[in-house]
Each structure stands twice: as C-alpha cells, then as structure tokens.
Amino acid sequence: MVRSVFLVGPMGSGKTAVGRQLAERLGLPFADSDAEIEARTGVDIAYIFEREGEAGFRVRERDMIDELTRRDGIVLATGGGAVLLPENRERLSTRGTVVFLDATLEQQMQRTRRGRHRPLLATDDPRAKLEELMRVRDPLYRSIAAITVTTDGRRLASVADEIARMLPA
C-alpha cells in the first residue's frame, strides 16, 4: 500500500498546484477536497457558504475528507480550513503523511488577490482576515504536519521535488 500525502496550509500556499505536480512525480492520483465538493454538489464553494454558512460547508468538507483519506495512495489538497475540525485533523494525521505548505501573509495576499471564489476573503479588509485565519489555523497545521515546506517565491516544481525527497520511503 502506498501511503497517501495530504497537503494542508492557508489559501494561496499552493496546495492544488503543488499537489498536481507532486502526484505526477509520485505516479499517484490527485484529488482536491474543495473541487470534489463542487463536483458533487454542482455549485461552487462560495454558493455553499452563501446558502448554508461556513458551518454547513464544514460538514460537507468533513464528510469529503473522511471519504478521500480512506483511499490508498493519493495526493490530496485540502481546503485551508480543513484543519479546524478535530476529526479532520485526526483522519489526516493517521491515514497519510501530512505536508504543511507554509506561506507568508504577503505571499497569500499576492496569490489570492484576484480570486473571486474565496468566500472568507469577501470582506473590506482581506489582509486582516488572512491574519486572523493564520492566528487560528497555523498552530493546527503545525500540530499534524510530518513535513513543513515554505512555498514563498518558489517554483512549483522545486516545492514538489522537495516534498518528494522528504517523504518516508
């Protein structure tokens, strides 16, 4: 059985883009929990937030992470808030190798500024929101990460190569 790799980190850290490259290098299938939720519901995450609130979305996310982490040998990009629920942290940390993609606030701002699909940043002060999210989430990412990689100013290939080298044999 090939151990799965689960990518966690803030919005704009590169989880989806790095995840695709890493999956290709490792010869594993790639999944993105947010994209899977959108595919199953037929609507985008912003719409789910609008209709069901963050709590409703987190229930959907919890169920999707439970399903996806049961698969053997996948690379999974999670949503930035996936670590908020204790059951998600437990499933991620026990069912695969968790990689925390760390990115500075400046990098997050740069990478998310054009995104219209990030409901938590639909605010007058996205920077303050990102700061608040990092205060809460950063310790949670670190608490379950087996590997931490900084993504600031780096090429996707470089980050994917570093993770591949650091994965347990």
For the chain, give the longest Cα–Cα distance: 47
How many structural domains comprise the chain?
1
d(CA 87, CA 47): 24
Neighbour-count burial of 46, counting CB atoms closer than 10 A to its CB (0-12 exposed, 13-18 middle, 19+ buried): middle
Average pLDDT, the chain: 90
pLDDT, one tens digit per residue, over 70-105 is: 999 999 999 999 999 999 999 999 999 999 999 887
State the pLDDT at residue 3. Answer: 86
State the pLDDT at residue 117. Answer: 64
| 140 pLDDT higher than 70 | yes
pLDDT, one tens digit per residue, over 28-78 is: 999 999 999 999 999 998 899 889 998 999 999 999 999 999 999 999 999
| 115 pLDDT higher than 60 | no
d(CA 67, CA 37): 11
**Is residue 74 within 8 Å of residue 122, measured between CB atoms?**
no
State the pLDDT at residue 16. Answer: 93
User: If DSSP codes are grouped into helix, strand and coil, which group holds residue 124?
Assistant: coil
pLDDT, one tens digit per residue, over 122-133 is: 677 777 888 888
d(CA 46, CA 119): 5
% of the chain surpassing 90 pLDDT:
69
CATH number of the domain encompassing residue 111: 3.40.50.300
State the pLDDT at residue 120. Answer: 58
State the pLDDT at residue 11. Answer: 84
Q: Which domain holds residue 128?
A: 4-166
